A and B are shown apart, each in its own frame.
Chain A
Amino acid sequence: MLAMNYRGPLRVRIDDKPMPEILHPQDAIVRVTRSCICGSDLHLYNGSVPDTRVGMTFGHEFTGFVEQVGEEVQKLRVGDHVLVPFNIACGKCVFCEQELYGNCHESNPEATAVGGIFGYSHTAGGYDGGQAEYVRVPYADVGPTVIPQGMDPDDAVLLTDVVPTGYQAAEMGGIQPGDTVVVFGAGPVGIMAARCAWLFGAGRVIVIDHVDYRLEFVKNYAPCEAYNFRSLEDPVVFIKRTTGWLGADVCIDAVGAEAAGSAMQTLLGRKLLMQGGSATALHWAINSVKKGGIVSIVGVYGPIDTLVPIGNVVNKGLTLRANQASVKRLLPRLIQHVQNGVLNPKALITHRVPLEYVSDAYRIFSAKLDGCIKPVLLPPSARS
């Protein structure tokens, strides 16, 4: 079968790889119909996530048809068209039982700090991902959800990560009616976080980024105020000034390890890999929020230490909230929001690329070429 194959930082290609097999009685094999490249895939692509092995297939946002099921699978049937949450969750451990499906303890032997994630290095369990024609899906009765009749598969594939992560970013902000919410990052997750902030009653939503075409998009899509930090002398001072000099009620870091905007953070976090990423967005979030405010973090960072102004967190009395999105917990509500037309995820998709051109798709997304916001890969069988 065709599958994306990681060859080293910035190098990926399409290769023939063996078909996945049922390795556990709760496994399913899924024939992929849509597979996105996620902003967090770029951390792998850039070589900044430890234990990312050459030969691995990435991809944690995908939909597909169930081709085969293990003997213990009861809820799924061969032929079901499913959307598959990016978290691999057993549904049995004490964390899954408390709906922390992103923190499962029975899906990742290599690290205890993160649950299993499809195609996201051995630090997240060593699973090959969905940027392929077929993929093995463990715990098939827990995560995969049959795509409701009438739902556009482009909407469905964004319900595997982008929508729940953006929604949970806003949810973790504890937004109260009238709150000013600042989202750092106008990538797909930041765009969705800005959109969802309104659902919690925000009074004002501001997005900060440095890519003009994305700022233009989010300004219309969310809708919100959108500013390019390169045109601001100091984004923190700007936020203070525009919020009556006290700061935002809620700040959301929707960027993570690849943040631009600080030469020192870029050097230490992105070039020298001496910290778990460039924490510029988080730094600004901590310093832009008001005293007693809340900082919500969904941007992904590596597992090693990262420089952030933790003293300001203490002195300002901030609440930090963070997690990988618990996709399964949020799906029922979010499916409803999509079906009711409250959320329109597919509008984020700007590029539909044949799986065979995966190297170009990564380059376009990574370098923000051709107005790219969200690329989706289409395997040959999904194009016929």
Chain B
Amino acid sequence: MEQTAIDPSQVKGWGIDADVRNDPTYPIKRRNNGEHAGYSWVRPSQQPISVEILHSNERPNVSATFGTSTPPAGLSGVFRRIAFRYSESSYGHWLPLMLADRIGVMEGVLGDLVRGHVPNFFGELGWKAEWQHNRKSLMGRILFGALMIAALTGYFRGRRE
């Protein structure tokens, strides 16, 4: 069905109850209703797109500036590219991104090892601070972890035998 634009001034009663004070955006927004003209402002100059930038399909372009940190790469990058086929309103967008984030963690560890760097997990987790300020709880958690590993090892060894 073809839609035609409606001239509001021809609509009976148009605007008779309008009240500019009825504006819950005050004082956060200095309202000028510029949005009514759509995406039509004079844009800042475009930052050269020197790395792969995935942009939301809810906008027609890459914003005038953007961050160039960690462009998509590897298997996580594949999932990120898939995600950007879907809108921000879709789980098809967010779920692949969350999966990509988890894959990225594994890629990060592998990347470290390939570069000859063995990650210091305890250091990265800030366990030194835990040891200094929360020793009892840290030791409890370590003990709990050790017991769980021992129990699981015992269980699987028993099943094998």
Any chain A CB within 8 A of the CB of B47?
A: yes
**A-B residue pair count with CB separations less than 8 angstroms:** 203
Q: Is the pair B45, A24 in contact by a Cβ cutoff of 8 Å?
A: yes
Nearest Cβ on chain A to B33's Cβ, whole angstroms: 9
> Which of A26, A53, A56 has the most C-beta atoms of chain B within 10 angstroms of its own C-beta?
A53
Does the CB pair B45–A25 fall under 8 Å?
A: yes
Q: Which of A168, A326, A360 lies in contact with B129, CB distance below 8 A?
A: A360
Q: Do B125 and A363 have beta carbons less than 8 Å apart?
A: yes
B65 proximity list for chain A (CB < 8 A):
23-24, 26-27, 88, 90, 106-107, 116, 138-139
Q: Which one of A9, A128, A369 has the highest number of Cβ atoms from chain B below 10 Å of its Cβ?
A: A369
If over half of A's interface residues share one DSSP class (helix, strand or loop), that class is named, otherwise mixed; here it is: loop
Which of B44, B67, B107 makes the CB contact (< 8 A) with A128?
B67
Given contacts A47-B101, A107-B65, contact A99 B94 (CB under 8 A): no
A369 touches B129 (CB 8 A): yes
> What number of A residues sit within 8 Å (CB to CB) of B?
69
Cβ proximity bits A118-144 to B, threshold 8 Å, 1 near / 0 not? 000011011110000000001100000
A51 touches B97 (CB 8 A): yes
B104 to chain A, nearest CB (A): 5
In the complex, are the beta carbons of B125 and A319 less than 8 A apart?
Answer: no
DSSP majority for the B interface?
Answer: loop
The smallest beta-carbon distance between B21 and chain A, in angstroms, is 13
Interface size class on chain B is 35 or more
Q: A304-B94, A364-B129 are in contact. Are A326 and B69 (CB under 8 A)?
A: no
Q: Which residues of A contact B (CB under 8 A)?
A: 7-13, 23-27, 47, 50-57, 72, 88, 90, 92-94, 97-100, 105-113, 116, 122-123, 125-128, 138-139, 168, 171-172, 273, 303-304, 319, 321, 323, 326, 359-364, 366-367, 369-370
Q: What are 21 pairs between A and B in contact, CB < 8 Å?
A: A7-B105, A8-B108, A10-B126, A11-B121, A11-B124, A12-B126, A51-B97, A53-B69, A53-B104, A54-B107, A55-B70, A57-B69, A92-B42, A93-B41, A107-B63, A113-B88, A127-B69, A168-B28, A319-B24, A359-B129, A364-B133
Excluding A107-B66, A126-B69, 10 further A-B contacts by CB distance (< 8 Å) are: A8-B108, A23-B50, A24-B45, A24-B65, A51-B100, A107-B64, A110-B66, A125-B67, A138-B65, A168-B28
- The 5 A-B residue pairs with the shortest CB-CB distance, nearest first, are A363-B126, A127-B67, A126-B67, A8-B105, A54-B108
Hey, which bits of chain B sit against chain A, CB under 8 A?
A: 24, 27-32, 34-35, 37, 39, 41-45, 47-48, 50, 53-56, 58-59, 61-70, 76, 80, 83-84, 88, 91, 94, 97-98, 100-102, 104-105, 107-109, 119-121, 123-130, 132-134
